Structures are given as structure tokens and as C-alpha cells.
Structure 1
Amino acid sequence: MNPMTTTILTSSLATGTIITASSYHWLMAWVGLEMNTLAIIPMISKKHHPRATEAATKYFLTQAAASAMLLFASTTNAWQTGTWDITNMTNQTANMLLTMALAMKLGLAPVHFWLPEVLQGSTMKTALIITTWQKLAPMALILILSNNLSTPALLTMGMFSALLGGWAGLNQTQTRKIMAYSSIAHLGWMAVITTIMPKILMLNLALYLLMTMSMFFILILLDSKNIKDMATSSTASQTITATAMLTLLSLGGLPPLTGFLPKWLILDELTTQSLATTATVMALSALLSLFFYLRLGYSTTITLAPNTTMTKHKWRFKPTDYTLLLTLTLPASLLMLPLSPMMC
């Protein structure tokens, strides 16, 4: 893609997110979300491949439907209250519509259907943007509206997302689809705590972004698109292969890695609020997610490919990879658990 085009699209992405996060008028929030959508679509379809075109079409239709639902919810609220202020959402019907619209924007179950297919049709770098940066604008609206959104609806969607993200990821072999279902499961954990403790939601979002970025940087450096590629990744870099295993375990939420921190705090808060059933369902759903993380980690670091050669390096040398971004995100995604006393 032309550097000028890339610059315009990237700046439009950033501007759209900033407009949405900083606005108090529903129309400006909608404009920011639309800028986000229109900027990411050329990035998805730039490969000029039928799968990329299909992914861009699915993303556009889903996001357009979610934006229309959000505009309809805000219009309904303005009709009843006479104001377009984001913080003045008092109409229950509008709140329910808004919850569903933001869930569709994020990819929460049961409106998650677009996320795995869009990621599979995108490049790895575009998939990284969709699973990280594109979550910021809807999450900003959720944080602003955390006192108004429907708690039963968010608890139900959160439990369903965590269960479906773990269950549907079990039979996947493509790394982008595995990361898509991982994203759905993590968003479920964020949804159940949204109206109860927004501070834990912010912590969970920050750690999710760090861990997901680290994993995608590893997949990009190893050029791994499926489990078979991961099984032969040790010939590319044994150091990155070892850190991939730790990052996967952190995504699964195993102590003493960073990923354990948000799950620990969320389960603690749910039991404090007498939501023991929800906490049990969430804890059991984490086992499903952990299974496919362990399977991917096992294939990456413990097994060898059936056609293993005697050499320790790939026969074709590549230019030196740019690993600064991985160096910045990896320590934070693995070693932040000792900071937990500050969060409690």
C-alpha cells in the first residue's frame, strides 16, 4: 500500500478513536465510530483476494448495523429526555439497544459471528489492529456508560462469550481464529465486571491489549498462520518460541504470569457481590480456553514436526526482524503479577 495512503488510514483510525473517547454528544461519538470503520476496511481488503474482500464486506455490514442501532438508541433516548448527552441515558429501551450495539461492535456473543471470519480473511497485522485498537472506542463508551448499562444483559453476554470463546476455539487450527476466540473469551470477562467495578475493567482491558499484542508480534515474527507452522517455529528462533509458550500461558490465566491478575480480581469481586454462580461459570470457562492455549503451546515448544531435518536453522536466511515492539510488550504481559497488591 502507498505510504501516503497508509498514513491517512492510520491517522483516521487514531482520530476516530479519540473523537469517540472524548465526546459527550451522541452524534460525535457516532462520527468517531464511523471514521474507525471506514479507515479499517481498506486495510482489510488491500490483499485483493476473495477472502479479504469477503472479510471486508462482513466487517462493513456488521459495523454499519451496530452503528445504526447505536444511533437509533441515542435518538430514542433523545426523544424521551430531550438531550443528546451521552451521560444522560435514562431510557431503558435505549439502554438495552445500546448494550447490544456496543456488544456487536466489540464481538461479544451472541453477536460475535463476524470476528473469527474477518480475522481469518485479514493479514496478521490487520488482525492485530482489529483485536486491539478497534476495541478502544466501544470500550470508552462502555466505561462512560457503566452506570447506565443493563447489568443482567452484560452478565449473561459475558458468561456466554467466555463459554463460547473457549468451546469454539477447541477445534481450531488457524492461529488467527484461535486469537479471535481468545478475544471473545477475554471480552466476556470484561463484560461481567463492567457495571460492578469499572476500574477492574480498565485493568483487564490494558492487560488484554498487552498480551494480545505480544502474541500477535510473535506470530508475525515466526510467520505462523496455523498450528503446523508453530510446530516448526523453533528453527526460526528458539528464544521467541520459548516466550510464545509463556505468552500463551499468560493468556490462559496461569499464575505467576500477568494474565492471572485480572481473572483473580474479577472472581474475587464477583464472589464479594454474591454472584457465586457467575464466578463458577467464568472459572470453568477459563479451563476451556486454557486447553487450546496449552495445545498450541505444546505444539510450539514440546513437539517436533514429522519431517524434522537435522539442521537447527531454516535453509533460507531472512533479513533481521524488527523486534522492538515485542521487547516492549512482552515483559509487561508476563511479569506484572507482583503489582497486584496495588490493585487490591
Structure 2
Amino acid sequence: MNPLVLMMIMVTLLSGTMITMCSSHWLLIWMGLELNMFAMIPILLMKANPRSTEAATKYFLVQTTASMLLMLAVLVNLINSGQWTIMKAHNQMALSIMTISLAMKLGLSPFHFWLPEVCQGVPLIQGMILLTWQKLAPITILYQISPYMDITLILTIAILSIMIGGWGGLNQTQLRKIMAYSSIAHMGWMAAIIVFNPTLTMLNLIMYLIMTTPMFMLLSYCSATTILSLSHMWNNTPLMTTLLTLVLMSMGGLPPLSGFLPKWMIIQEMTKNNLLMVPTLMAILALLNLFFYMRLIYSSSLTMFPSNNSTKMKWQLKQQTIMPAMPALITLSILVIPMSPMLTTLS
């Protein structure tokens, strides 16, 4: 792709997200989401082939449907309140339609079917952008309307997302689909707590971005797209295999790694709000995610496939791929909790 065209697309993507995050007027928020969507389509089509074209078409159809639903909810709210501001959202039907449209944009269950297919149809770096940057604008809108949302609806969507995100990834062999189902489960945790403590949703989002980005960087660095290709990582990059294991355990929420922090605080906050069954169910369903993360760890670290002598020395060859931010992101994704006493003393 022409560098000038790529720069223009990235500026559009950035400005669309920023407009949505900084606006309090529904029309500007909607325009920011549209800019975000139209910038994502050429990013998905960066390596044009039939699969990426299909993925971009599915993404376009789902996102436009969600945008139309959001505009319908905004107009219903405008008729009832006479205000375009986001803080005047009191009509329950409009709020329910808004929640459903934003759930479609985020890929929350039961509107999740497009996300694994779209993620599977594009390369790893484009999949990383789809599962990280594309989530920022919709989650910001959910954050702003969280005081008025229907608790029953959002909790139902959240628990379904955690359940589908765990069950859907169990029988997958494609790493991009596994990461897509992992994203659905993480979004379910964010949606579950947003009504009670939106700040914890932002914490979970930051930790999700910090863990997902280096995970995709590691997979891209090793050119791994399936579990079979992941099993040959020890030939090429032995150190990366160890780092991949730590990042996967952090994503599963094992203490004392960074991924344990948001889950721990979300369960604690829900318990304080006298919801005992919901966090119990969420913690049990999170074990499904941990299972397929451990399966990836088993494939990459705990098995050594037979190979001839020439392939055993491939790790000595110099890697051409450069990932400048990867060391810092991997450190944050596994060491936030162990470093927290040091950070508190510094402050």
C-alpha cells in the first residue's frame, strides 16, 4: 500500500476514535464511529485476497447494521428528551437498542458470530488492530451511558459472552479464531462490571490491550497461525516460547501475573454489590478460557516434535522481523502485580 494512503487511513482511524471518545453530542459520536468503520475496511483489505474481501464485507455489513440501530436509538431518545447530549439518555427502549448496537460493534454474544470469521480472514497484524483499537470507541460510549443501562440486559450479554468465549475456543486449531474467542470472553468481563464500577472496565480494557498486543506480536514474529505451526516455535525462537507461555498464563488470569488483577477486582466489586452467583459463574466459565490457553502452552512448550538435525539449529539464524515495543509490552503483561509495591513507593 502507498505510504501516503496508509498514513491517511491511520489518521482517519485515529481521528474517528478520538472524536467518539471526546464528544458528548450523539451526532458527533455517530460520525466518529463511521470514520472508524470506513478506516478499518482498507486496513482489513491491505493484503487483498478472497478471504480478506469476505472478511471486510462481513465487517462492513455488521458494523453498518449496528450503526443504523444506534442512530435509531439516538432518534428515539431525541424525540423523548429533545436533547442530543449523551447525558440525557433516559428512555429505556432507546437505551436497550443502544446497548444491543454497541454489543454488535464489540462482538459480544449473541452478536459475536462475525468476529472469529473476520479475524480469521485477515493477517495477524490486521487482526490485532481489529481486536484492540476497534474496541476503544464502542466501549467508551458504553462507559458514558453506563449509569442508565438495564442491569439485567447487560449482565445477560456479559455472561453469555464469557460462556461463548470459552466454549467457542475449545475446538479451534486456528490461533486467530482462538484470540477472537478470547476477546469475546474479555469483553464479557468488561461488560459485566460496567454498571457497577466503570473504572474497573477501563482497567480491564487497558490490561486486555497490554496482553493482546504482545500476544499478536509474538505470533507475527514467529509467523504462527495454527497450533501445528506453534509447535515448531522451539526450533526457531526458544526464548519467545517461554515469553508466549507467560503471556498466555497472564491472559488466563493466573496469579501473580498481570491478568489476575482485573478479574480479582471485578469479582471483589461484584461481591460487594451482593451479587454472589454472577461472579461465581463468571469465574467457573473463565476456566474454559484457561483450558485452551493451557493447550496452546502444551503445544508450544511441553512437546518436542521429531525433526532432523538441520532444523534443530534454526534458532541460531537472525530474525528479520523487528518489534520495537514488544519487550516493554511483554513486561507489563506479566509483571504489573509484582511491580505494584515498587510503583506505590515511587509515587
Same fold (TM > 0.5)? yes
2:325 equivalent in structure 1: 325
Residue 319 (structure 1) shift: 4.8
Q: Which residues of 2 match residues 210-289 of structure 1 at below 5 A?
A: 210-289=210-289
Which amino acid in 2 is paired with 1:330? I
1:197 equivalent in structure 2: 197
Change (3 A) 1:211 1:123: same
Number of aligned residues: 343
What is the TM-score when the length of structure 2 is the normalising length? Answer: 0.95
- For 1:332 and 1:313, locate their aligned partners in 2 and report how far apart those are by CA, in whole Å: 31
Change (3 A) 1:63 1:342: farther
Question: Is 1:261–1:340's contact at 8 Å kept on the other side of the alignment?
Answer: no
- For 1:198 and 1:252, locate their aligned partners in 2 and report how far apart those are by CA, in whole Å: 22
- For 1:53 and 1:221, locate their aligned partners in 2 and report how far apart those are by CA, in whole Å: 24
Change (3 A) 1:70 1:341: farther
- For 1:342 and 1:133, locate their aligned partners in 2 and report how far apart those are by CA, in whole Å: 30
Deviation digits for residues 298-329 of structure 1 (CA, Å, limit 9, x no counterpart): 10111022446464333995653213211121
1:314 equivalent in structure 2: 314
1:65 aligns with 2:87: no
- For 2:311 and 2:241, locate their aligned partners in 1 and report how far apart those are by CA, in whole Å: 17
1:25 aligns with 2:19: no
What is the TM-score when the length of structure 1 is the normalising length? Answer: 0.96
Which amino acid in 2 is paired with 1:267? I
- For 1:339 and 1:87, locate their aligned partners in 2 and report how far apart those are by CA, in whole Å: 38
Residue 340 (structure 1) shift: 6.2
Question: Is 2:158–2:188's contact at 8 Å kept on the other side of the alignment?
Answer: yes
- For 1:316 and 1:271, locate their aligned partners in 2 and report how far apart those are by CA, in whole Å: 51
Deviation digits for residues 109-161 of structure 1 (CA, Å, limit 9, x no counterpart): 00011100000001111100010000000111111111012211111111110
Question: Is 2:259–2:333's contact at 8 Å kept on the other side of the alignment?
Answer: yes
- For 1:248 and 1:236, locate their aligned partners in 2 and report how far apart those are by CA, in whole Å: 19
1:165 aligns with 2:153: no
Question: Is 1:207–1:259's contact at 8 Å kept on the other side of the alignment?
Answer: yes
- For 1:147 and 1:342, locate their aligned partners in 2 and report how far apart those are by CA, in whole Å: 35
Deviation digits for residues 56-113 of structure 1 (CA, Å, limit 9, x no counterpart): 0000000000000000000000011101111110100000000001100101000011
- For 1:311 and 1:298, locate their aligned partners in 2 and report how far apart those are by CA, in whole Å: 21
- For 2:341 and 2:273, locate their aligned partners in 1 and report how far apart those are by CA, in whole Å: 20
- For 1:56 and 1:151, locate their aligned partners in 2 and report how far apart those are by CA, in whole Å: 33
Question: Is 2:237–2:315's contact at 8 Å kept on the other side of the alignment?
Answer: no
2:146 equivalent in structure 1: 146
- For 1:316 and 1:54, locate their aligned partners in 2 and report how far apart those are by CA, in whole Å: 39
Question: Is 1:154–1:191's contact at 8 Å kept on the other side of the alignment?
Answer: yes
Residue 338 (structure 1) shift: 3.6
Question: Is 1:17–1:136's contact at 8 Å kept on the other side of the alignment?
Answer: yes
RMSD: 1.7
Question: Is 1:217–1:325's contact at 8 Å kept on the other side of the alignment?
Answer: no
Question: Is 2:235–2:315's contact at 8 Å kept on the other side of the alignment?
Answer: no
Change (3 A) 1:116 1:309: farther
